[in-house]
Amino acid sequence: MFESLSALVGRVPGGLWDVIDIAIVAFLIYEFLKLIRGTRASQMALGVTLIVALFYVSRLAPLQTVNWLIRNMVGYVVFAGIVLFQSDIRRALAHFGRGPFFRYFERRGGDDETIEEIVVAASHLSAQRVGALIVLERAIGLRGHVESGIRLDATLTYDLLISIFQSTSPLHDGAVIVQEDRVAAAACFLPLTVNPRLGRDLGTRHRAAIGVSEESDAVAVVVSEETGQMALALEGRIERHLESDELRTRLRTLVALPETAPDPVGAER
């Protein structure tokens, strides 16, 4: 066995393309491990590794029954994994789509006037302790979430946001999605994050903001109904206890510019 392996290695030519090939595979494995770290997929990856190891052990032993069972079970396990971890797979594909190469094709986000309207509205709602969730679409479309709410397609203004999130409004219970400086829809349903490492003090709005930021590159602004504190969710992380000036600066960096800002400091994941 070792002689055949040595002979195989000796016949493999080494060159620039081989180095590039190995580097790409190593990068993909590294990104995959980063994505599944701290998620349910990490436990599944460990289980798959054990099954693969048991498969090769059953061939060497030989354990015919174990080998037959694993060979016939692989197909069902693959389909079960796709169904159970569809959200993680979707998040992984979105993550690769946000790579440095694709950022050249991103469209420009909102202007200063739009950001100012959002900041002023969030500050006013924060002072009144009125809960709010505003999601700003960037490169990855949110059409599916827009269709889950009430279509508005209205000009984004401070008065409109205040009116939507008042407790007497029929649209206050849900998220507002902003597309290209316009309020696309209100009362939208968003996926809740299942990250077990988040604090228990985070409510439904915060978890929905983190959930939509995990599946896309959207930026979510949250106003807590209990404390009135403003927060910002991005890439599965959340920045809390933001002041108006801090929120304005972060939105200008993340939304008004085509490139993505660096990871926030001190954010929870």
In degrees rounded to 5, what are phi and psi of residue 196?
-75, -10
With 90 as the cut, is the pLDDT of residue 231 above it?
Answer: yes
The more confident residue out of 24 and 231 is 231
pLDDT on residue 189: 92
19 versus 88: which is more confidently predicted? 19
pLDDT at 95 over 80: no
SS3 content of the chain, % helix, strand, coil (to 5): 55, 15, 30
Question: What is the DSSP code string of 115-175?
Answer: HHHHHHHHHHHHHHT--EEEEE--SS--HHHHTTSEEEEEE--HHHHHHHHSTTSTT-SSE
pLDDT band at residue 262 under the 50/70/90 scheme: very low
Task: Provide the pLDDT for residue 91.
Answer: 62
Per-residue pLDDT at 1: 46
> Is 108-254 a CATH 1.20.1250.20 domain?
no
Look at the block and give the residue holding tokens 């990250």.
195
The residues pairing with 150 across neighbouring beta strands, listed in sequence order, are 186
Q: What is the mean pLDDT of the chain?
A: 79
Q: What would the mean pLDDT of 37-44 be, rounded to a whole number?
A: 62
Please check the confidence at residue 21 and state whether its pLDDT lies above 80: yes
**pLDDT over 50 (residue 229):** yes
Strand, helix or coil at 219?
strand
Tell me the whole-structure pTM to 2 decimals.
Answer: 0.62
Residue 261: predicted pLDDT: 42
Q: Exposed, middle or buried, 200 (CB in 10 Å: 0-12/13-18/19+)?
A: exposed
Tokens 């709410």 sit at which residue? Answer: 149
Among 75-89, 116-130, 137-151, 188-202, the minimum mean pLDDT is found in: 75-89
Structural domain spans, the chain:
2-104, 108-254
Window from 72-76, 81-85, 174-178 with minimum mean pLDDT: 81-85
What are the pLDDT digits (tens) for 151-196? 999 999 999 999 999 988 899 889 999 998 899 999 999 989 888 7
205 in Cβ contact with 198 (< 8 Å): no
Check residues 20 and 119 and name the one with the higher pLDDT: 119
Residue range 86-102: mean pLDDT, rounded: 59
Furthest CA-CA distance within the chain: 78
Better-scored residue on pLDDT, 37 or 225: 225
SS3 248: helix
- In this prediction, residue 123 carries a pLDDT of 95
> pLDDT, tens digit, for every residue of 106-140?
544 457 889 999 999 999 999 999 999 999 998 88
What is the structure's pLDDT at 89? 65
